[in-house]
Structures are given as C-alpha cells and as structure tokens.
Amino acid sequence: MEYPKTVEELYETLKAFKEKDANGNGDSTDEIPVSGDTNASWYLAVMSAFGMPVSDTAYGLMLSDGTVTLAQTTENYQAYLTYMNRLYSEGLYDEAALVQNSDEFVAKARDGWVGTFGAAAPFVTLGQDASVDAGYMALGGLTSEWNATGAFPLAAGVSSGVKLLVKADTAYPEAIVRLIDYFYTDDGILMAAKGTEKSVKMEENPFDASYQQAITFIPDGEEDNYDSAEAYRYKKAIINEGFNVIKSMEGSEYSFVDSASDELLASEEVAKTYGWSVLMERRIRETGTVDVMPALLYQESEANRRNTLYTDISNYIRQAAAQFISGELDPETDYESYLNTLKQMKLEELIQIEQAAYDRMY
C-alpha cells in the first residue's frame, strides 16, 4: 500500500494490518494495527491531521491571530474523538492502549504484533540497533476535511522538563558551573548523549567524508549484560540528550542528515545507519512543517495558580478522552457536557494565565 496521505487512507491502512496477516505468520487475527501506552505520541500525528498541531495530547495550546486557545475544546477535537472511537469500535485500536504502561506495550511490539505506534524511535521500542528503523515510515503530515494542508508539527527544543538543582550552601559553585558548561562542548555532548569514553568512537561518515559520526559500542567485558549498543547507551549516557544540544555539533551525524541531498536521504543504507532521524527528515521534507505553541514562562503568582488548575484540568481531559474513544461517552451527544465540566473547573481562568504569559513574552 502507498503511504497514507489522509486520515481516511490511514484508516484503510490500519484495516489492512488487521485483516491481511501483516506479520506474515499465517494468522490474520493476531495483528494490532495501533498500540502504545497512555502517552503514545502517535496521537499527535492524528490530532495534527484534524487541524490541531500541538505537542501535548491532554493540554494542547494553539494560537489564532495571537489568541491562545485549547485544542481540546474545539470542534476539531470533537471530530478527532469521533475518528478515534471509530478505530476503537472496529478493533483497529488496541483497547489496552488506554490503560497499559510502557513495559506492557513494548512487550507487544517486540513480539511483532503492532503495525503502528508512537515512540522515540522504532529501534528503542524494539530493543534492536538503528538499522531496524529502515523498515518503518514516520507518520505525519496527514490531511482531513478539517485540515487541507498536511504539515509536520515542529516543537521547539526548549523544555521546562530538565532542571538543574544546586544546593545553596555548596562550597563548589564554580566547579558545578564548569561541569554544566562541559556538557555544551563537543566532548561533553558526546558523553551526555552517546555513552562513556569506553563506548564511543568517532569515525568518518561513510556517505560524506566531510562529516564525522559518533559510534556507540558495548565495551569489552560488558557484552553479556546488554542486548545492544543502544541498550548500553540508554543506561550509561550521562544525561541521555537531556540538554538537547547534540544537533549543534558541527559535522555531527544529525547535521549530516539535515543537509543530505534528497537522493542520499532516500537510500536504505543511510536509513539503516542513522535510523529515526532519517525517517523524520524524509517526512518533514515531504510535508513541510508548522510551528507549535512555544514554551511559556510564568510569574510566581501565575505559576502557583496555574499548577493547581492545569493538573486538575489536564487529568480530566485525559480521562474524558479515554471515555470518548472507548465509547463510554458519545463524542456527539456528550461533548457539550464535557465542555461545561471544563468551564466549571475554571478553564477560562487558566487560559487567561496562558494568554498573559504569551502577551508578555511575545
């Protein structure tokens, strides 16, 4: 089948996964067209197809002519829930995805049952090396009657999720700052993202000699403790890309993928070597990108009030989404009641806080 360009074509693809023995084991009943854990990122690709380019499935802020809105209160979101309920009711969506944790999902994916899933990269989920990614395509840029122009949502690398805490009475403030600075050097970036001095080596890029690439391997004596070099990297990398700066390394594998020609990017060997970053770059070039809501900063008084409102409201939205998708709530008849509940939970006050922060910053 061709790569799906619309939500309706995605539906047909998922039906084929279910009905045509996609894993080739002779049993046409054991495939799971879509699965993931409760935070699966594949939802975001479908939400974008319905005109909601957001970076959070339970609390997706959007902009319209400078006005902050919440995607999960729009007619687009109602249409998205109706679509998801259709997948669920026809057995195309793993029922357990509404409740299962990451380990439970990963076990299914590694058994070869799952056709579509959201993850940092296929090889991470499957516990294999990056070459397995060449057998996958990045999902994004879909269109629908709610969104005529396909685009890949592009979130900023800025995040409030990584924090550095330093004891106020430390005797070594300068040394701590030097350590933080180290992780913004080329060597520090490698240690933070790729492993340890024992497990990383630099090699000439086999596709373009003007680039170097960092190769992670399992050090001598550790082979029996790890299934793959990626498993070692994930356990041993100091920050696991927490500072999100490796793309800034001049001549790195990431800057190579960003600048590679379309012909080179289409190569299966390039995909096997660089995995998910090639899949993402291919999709971005084919569909283009659209910015998502930038990260906001809050004054102390705003932050305290926002934390209380945000926690309750996002938890309710996540719970209601599961009920709409499973059919416990009807996306047609119960949506107005859902909106009224959000109003009672003071969503308007929360959006006013977001608007004030956006206006102040931008």
22 and 16 Cβ atoms separated by less than 8 Å: yes
Judged by DSSP in three states, 72 sits in helix
CA separation for the pair 144, 62 (Å, rounded)? 18
246 and 200 Cβ atoms separated by less than 8 Å: no
Classify 346 in phi/psi space as left (phi over 0), alpha (psi -120 to 50) or beta.
Answer: left
The pLDDT tens digits for 310-322 are 999 999 999 999 9
DSSP state of 93: B
Structure tokens at 282: 């291919």
Residue 315's CB is within 10 A of a number of other CB atoms, namely: 12
Task: Give pLDDT, residue 157.
Answer: 64
**Degrees, nearest 5: CA angle 85-90-96:** 70
CA separation for the pair 86, 93 (Å, rounded)? 9
Q: What is the pTM of this model?
A: 0.84
Tens of each residue's pLDDT in the chain, 362 residues: 999 999 999 999 999 999 998 888 888 888 999 998 876 778 889 999 999 999 888 999 999 889 999 999 999 999 999 999 999 999 999 988 888 888 888 998 998 889 999 887 898 888 888 889 999 999 999 999 999 998 888 876 666 666 778 899 999 999 999 988 888 887 787 777 777 778 888 788 888 887 777 778 888 888 888 888 878 887 877 776 566 555 555 556 667 888 889 999 999 999 998 888 899 999 999 999 998 888 899 999 899 999 999 999 999 999 999 999 999 999 999 999 999 999 999 999 999 999 999 999 98
Task: Give pLDDT, residue 358.
Answer: 96
The pLDDT tens digits for 277-314 are 899 999 999 999 998 888 899 999 899 999 999 999 99
